[in-house]
Amino acid sequence: MNILLLGYGKMGKIIGEIAESRGHFLAGKINLENISELEKINPADVDVVIEFSQPESALGNITWAIERGIPVVSGTTGWLEHLPEVSKLTQEKNGAFFYASNYSIGVNIFFKVNEFLAKLMNETSGYQVAIEEIHHTQKKDAPSGTAITLAEGIIQNLDVKTQWNLTGQMADSEQSVPITSKRIDPAPGTHIITYSSDIDTIEISHTAHSRMGFALGAVLVAEWIKNKKGVLSMNDFLSF
């Protein structure tokens, strides 16, 4: 399979290494320094785009691929206000667009545990829920896309919560899920969900030990997406 990497930072390089180790060919490795090379790429030579760039580049990268009929697997966070227009373009072009805030299989299991715990907490009272996420200092967006997905999972399953807020930017309220974002090197990613009461504390967490799990998941999805159509997610890939 011919894979075009749009975004060739630390994650892109690991994705490229894993893809080649699995017998795939890299049709290109595009980042901000060589973005002009993108127009020289022949779409017919690309089976799938894996897009792990920056928030300011994601929309342009994804649009470029979808307009040329190339399936896109994206893991860039911090641009999701544009997701409705990408979804619309994907439908118009009868294309394939896959987005996940996190491609780690373990994290996606954690998402389901988080949702189940939130449902259970509807049966009790006196607990306050909060999210803490810790990433390396090069991560530009806050909160992380994974933290937002976790917050959305709580909001969808815990009746008293209707929104999330980033601590320090918006005032906490009874209806909000507060998210604290920390940037500490060399942390690849930790997410902690805490339910606290006067009596006790319930806590679940996920800690990534490296970027390998994220990168492998993205390559596995790229292998899977061939001949698929529509706007897809990890729920489709994992059949949760």
Residues designated as active site: 135, 139
151 contact partners, CB below 8 Å, separation of at least 6: 131, 143, 164, 177, 179
Name the token pair of 33.
Answer: 């320094």
Q: Which pairs with CB-CB distance under 8 Å and at least 24 residues apart come from 226-229? A: 226/1, 226/47, 226/48, 226/71, 228/71, 228/96, 228/98, 229/94, 229/95, 229/96
Report the distance separating Cα 98 and Cα 154, nearest Å.
Answer: 23
Contact, 6 vs 49, CB < 8 A? Answer: yes
